[in-house]
Amino acid sequence: MPAIKPLPDLLISQIAAGEVVERPASVLKELLENSLDAGAREVQVQMAEGGVKLIRIADDGCGIAPDDLPLALARHATSKIATLEDLEHVTSFGFRGEALASIAAVAQVALTSRARGAAHAYRIDSASGRVAPAALGGGTVVEVRDLYFNTPARRKFLKSEATEFAHCEEVFRRAALARPDVALQLAHNGRVAARLAASSLTRRVGEILGGEFRDQAREIEAAAGILRLSGYAALPAYSRAARDAQFFFVNGRFVRDKLLAHAVRAAYADILHGSRHPAFVLFLELDPYGVDVNVHPAKIEVRFRDSRGVHQFVFHALQRALAQPGAGRSTSPLPFVTAPSESLNDALLSPRQRPLAMEEPVQAYVAAAARAFGEPLADQLAAPGAPEEAKAPPLGYALAQLHGVYILAQNDAGLVLVDMHAAHERILYEKLKRALAEDAPAVQPLLIPVVFAASSAEMATAAEHEPDLQRMGFDVRPAGPAELAVRAVPALLAGADTAGLVRALLADLATVGDSRAGAEQRNELLATLACHGAVRARRTLTIPEMNALLREMEATERADQCNHGRPTWTQLSLAELDRLFLRGR
């Protein structure tokens, strides 16, 4: 074995650079953080060729004294902490004192700075290490050229110019969201990609994520003890196919943290389909002592002292905000409405309503509505239409059913359109969840058992999961070698297509596992039940049945979306209707 030798300084920095300077975007991140740490109010970034050729950042921060310039480029030299005590309470982005040194080890770096009150500016060049007077009005300019010029192996790992710039844009967006009070500009190859004036968080969020996100987002504001959560979380109508609109900041620092990601996921679990991703901009603030930011060289991971407490807090704060029924809120307006069709006219003039097969659940609605709203309202529900003078409830009173799919209702703002199946599905789901939590859900014995032909796999699943089926309120037993008999179902699901329901449930049990396996599995089973139990499209409802459904929606948490995250209703205001008919112009 060769003798042990200390590594040369440059090589140490090049090794460190492997962790800190993964790609141009990591350089940009470090430089932006330095400018923000220096108290900049305005930061301008210019880049060329995806940042590989040039990253130049100019700020109006406190600047660096000429004597400190060589130290700024030296390894383990920082102005931000001096003791371990400082480290535990650090509030600046930087504290490791290695970013500029690492960058200077793999690129040509020039630092020009004019400290506040200094007569003029000085410049240092990483190649020569010499400090010389220079011209600059104030603040600091950092220029990083020819990234990886001396480490060709690294350079090979870089992706296309467009991809590298896209990563830089993402870093820029994070900084922009973290500090809406700072004016920021980004230019690439001479073209301005973003120009953001200093403003409020609300405006910045709209600029970075778009007006559609802002319109569909709930404002979050919650505090408990030393913890505070604020920001915006989008309702499922604005969910994404990718995790491209997820911004979580801990004490202003963008982080990607498993614990926080899990808390968010759990808060959305009931309202978002598994393959969709929520969109959010969230800020968690806590005493710096409660969080260790020195876990990762790029500081993208953190560790909480009380991780359970943080998880619970984030989960509950978010879930509560998302659950609030938003009745009265106008969802995005419909692009157009077709003229009333024949069948709508028919429905308005002569309701030809077949009796509802789901008689019992609907009876239950009317009873529940009576309990929730008192007898007088129950009377109103029974009468078609409603007194003109009385203020309508948020979702209004039912007028008619459209093509057996939508309920049309009138509220104070105008017309409400409800997707009847989606709404009923959500209500059933929430009820089933509550019923199952009680451990003894009300059971409806069937006078005539429902018998259906079952495959050997279905027979096996029914036998294996019998106790589980029992706990959910089902009595499913073999009636022959290839036949299953259903003798009882949960009361909430009486009247549904029993055979179809049990088949779907058995399929779920076979793939997902039983309801004790975990909340996620249980909720998936409930979703299957709710979907099969909910009124099918093309079922005719009577006006009182429709009104009962509307009242149930108002009383149900998360009723704005079905459990696949689709909206259950939308509002068409009178103004929007007037616009369609060019009224009042």
Binding site for ligand ADP (CB under 6 A): 30, 34-35, 38, 59, 61-64, 72, 78-80, 94-101, 140
Please compute Rg for the chain using Cα positions.
31
**Which pair of tokens denotes residue 299?**
């500081």
Query: Reduced to 3 states, what is the DSSP secondary structure of residue 131?
Result: strand
Minimum distance from residue 512 beta carbon to ligand ADP (Å): 48
Q: Which of 26/411 has CB closer to Mg ion?
A: 26
Q: Which of 59/545 has CB closer to ligand ADP?
A: 59
Tokens 């929606």, located at residue: 553
Minimum distance from residue 301 beta carbon to ligand ADP (Å): 17
Residue 227 site contact among Mg ion, ligand ADP, none (CB < 5 to 8 Å, cut-off depends on kind):
none
Minimum distance from residue 79 beta carbon to ligand ADP (Å): 3
Hey, what amino acid is at 376? P
Minimum distance from residue 97 beta carbon to Mg ion (Å): 8
Minimum distance from residue 159 beta carbon to ligand ADP (Å): 25
Rounded to whole angstroms, the Cα distance separating 236 from 275 reads 12
303-304 and 483-490 strand pairing: unpaired
Residue numbers at the binding site for Mg ion (CB under 5 A): 34, 94, 99
Q: Which of 97/333 has CB closer to ligand ADP?
A: 97
Residue 421 site contact among Mg ion, ligand ADP, none (CB < 5 to 8 Å, cut-off depends on kind):
none
Residue 123 site contact among ligand ADP, Mg ion, none (CB < 5 to 8 Å, cut-off depends on kind):
none
Bridge partners, residue 419, by sequence? 406
Rounded to whole angstroms, the Cα distance separating 369 from 381 reads 9
**Which pair of tokens denotes residue 577?**
């209707």
Residue 58 site contact among ligand ADP, Mg ion, none (CB < 5 to 8 Å, cut-off depends on kind):
none
Q: Which of 50/94 has CB closer to Mg ion?
A: 94
Bridge partners, residue 410, by sequence? 397, 415
Q: Is 150 in contact with 108 (CB distance < 8 Å)?
A: no
Q: Which of 111/541 has CB closer to ligand ADP?
A: 111
Query: Reduced to 3 states, what is the DSSP secondary structure of residue 101?
Result: helix
Residue 61 site contact among ligand ADP, Mg ion, none (CB < 5 to 8 Å, cut-off depends on kind):
ligand ADP
Hey, what amino acid is at 524? E
Minimum distance from residue 249 beta carbon to ligand ADP (Å): 18
Residue 96 site contact among ligand ADP, Mg ion, none (CB < 5 to 8 Å, cut-off depends on kind):
ligand ADP
Alpha-carbon dihedral of residues 190, 193, 199, 205, nearest 10 degrees?
-170
When CB distances to ligand ADP are compared, the closest residue is 94
CA angle 374, 380, 382 (to 5 degrees): 105
CA-wise closest residue to 317 among 246, 400, 231? 231
Q: Where are the alpha helices (DSSP H) in 352-452?
A: 359-373, 375-382, 420-437
Q: Which of 13/563 has CB closer to ligand ADP?
A: 13
Q: Which of 24/63 has CB closer to ligand ADP?
A: 63
Q: Where are the alpha helices (DSSP H) in 158-290?
A: 161-178, 201-209, 211-216, 258-268
Q: Which of 98/560 has CB closer to Mg ion?
A: 98
Query: Reduced to 3 states, what is the DSSP secondary structure of residue 469?
Result: helix
* Residue 390: Cβ-neighbour burial (10 angstroms; 0-12, 13-18, 19+): exposed
Bridge partners, residue 418, by sequence? 407, 569
DSSP state for residue 351 in the 8-state scheme: -
CA-wise closest residue to 534 among 353, 405, 383, 401? 405
Q: Which of 104/476 has CB closer to ligand ADP?
A: 104
Minimum distance from residue 67 beta carbon to ligand ADP (Å): 12
Q: Is 131 in contact with 123 (CB distance < 8 Å)?
A: yes
Minimum distance from residue 42 beta carbon to ligand ADP (Å): 12
Rounded to whole angstroms, the Cα distance separating 220 from 315 reads 12
Residue 78 site contact among Mg ion, ligand ADP, none (CB < 5 to 8 Å, cut-off depends on kind):
ligand ADP
Q: Which of 21/462 has CB closer to Mg ion?
A: 21
Rounded to whole angstroms, the Cα distance separating 144 from 157 reads 19
Minimum distance from residue 111 beta carbon to ligand ADP (Å): 7
Rounded to whole angstroms, the Cα distance separating 451 from 328 reads 45
Q: Which of 140/401 has CB closer to ligand ADP?
A: 140
Minimum distance from residue 80 beta carbon to ligand ADP (Å): 5
Residue 80 site contact among ligand ADP, Mg ion, none (CB < 5 to 8 Å, cut-off depends on kind):
ligand ADP
Residue 316 site contact among Mg ion, ligand ADP, none (CB < 5 to 8 Å, cut-off depends on kind):
none
DSSP for 415-435?
A: EEEEEHHHHHHHHHHHHHHHH
CA angle 187, 190, 196 (to 5 degrees): 25
Residue 523 site contact among ligand ADP, Mg ion, none (CB < 5 to 8 Å, cut-off depends on kind):
none
Q: Which of 94/206 has CB closer to ligand ADP?
A: 94
Q: Which of 300/555 has CB closer to ligand ADP?
A: 300
Q: Is 418 in contact with 549 (CB distance < 8 Å)?
A: yes
DSSP for 39-82?
A: T-SEEEEEEEGGGTSEEEEEE-S----GGGHHHHTSTT--SS--
DSSP state for residue 240 in the 8-state scheme: B
Minimum distance from residue 34 beta carbon to Mg ion (Å): 4
Residue 64 site contact among Mg ion, ligand ADP, none (CB < 5 to 8 Å, cut-off depends on kind):
ligand ADP
Residue 59 site contact among ligand ADP, Mg ion, none (CB < 5 to 8 Å, cut-off depends on kind):
ligand ADP
Residue 401 site contact among Mg ion, ligand ADP, none (CB < 5 to 8 Å, cut-off depends on kind):
none
Q: Which of 35/561 has CB closer to ligand ADP?
A: 35
Minimum distance from residue 372 beta carbon to Mg ion (Å): 57
Residue 20 site contact among ligand ADP, Mg ion, none (CB < 5 to 8 Å, cut-off depends on kind):
none
Minimum distance from residue 39 beta carbon to Mg ion (Å): 14
Minimum distance from residue 77 beta carbon to Mg ion (Å): 11
CA distances from 303 to 83, 230, 246, 306 (A): 20, 20, 19, 9
